[in-house]
Amino acid sequence: MSKYSKQFKLKVVKEFLKSGGLKRVGHLFKISHSDVRKWTLAYQAHGHSGLNPSFQRYSPVFKVQVLQHMAAHQISARPAAAHFGIGSMTTILQWQKLYNGGGITALANRPRGRSPMPHFNIKALLKKPISELTPAELRRRMEYAEAESAYLKKLEALAQSKAVKESKPK
């Protein structure tokens, strides 16, 4: 959910279009004047739908088209964001930085979130003879044995503390 409602954004835009003054309208509604500018540009380019929050992923081809449009029309990131309905001009600035550094391949969508844990079958590793294990497998087997030993020690300590508590008279 966005920080400001569509109705609030529309009210701000209407006030700005009626009387002007980015800083005055920003101060009046207690918001940044850059938000007033961004919402006004989006409203002028797309109407009411320009004020809807949009959370989407863009293809590398689309990103290049936006950058080429900016270069061809000699416009900055803010009007380009309003023209293409992109939520923030900083998104375009990041695309520009990536494109300048690595071309279109740098604009490829990256997977989100954490990568999945590698699948590891400890049972198969324990069945293998030690002489057939690689150094990495030996290290993993040793780590497993250490973790198992630490777990058993902790379990024994908890059992002893519970027994001590039960043996004390109340």
pLDDT in tens, the chain (170 residues): 468 888 899 899 999 899 888 899 999 889 998 889 888 888 887 787 777 766 678 889 999 999 999 999 999 998 998 888 887 788 899 999 999 988 888 888 877 788 777 777 888 888 888 888 899 889 988 999 999 999 999 999 999 998 888 887 76
- CB burial of 125-163 (b: ≥16 within 10 Å; e: otherwise) equals eeeeeeeeeeeeeeeebeeeeeeeeeeeeeeeeeeeeee
Residue 77 lies in a domain: yes
Same domain, 91 and 128: no
The total domain count for the chain is 3
Compute CA distances 65 → 9, 40, 73, 79, 82, whole Å.
28, 23, 12, 14, 14
Same domain, 49 and 9: yes
Residue 169 lies in a domain: no
Residue 73 lies in a domain: yes
Domain that holds residue 68: 55-109
Same domain, 65 and 37: no
Q: What is the pTM of this model?
A: 0.50
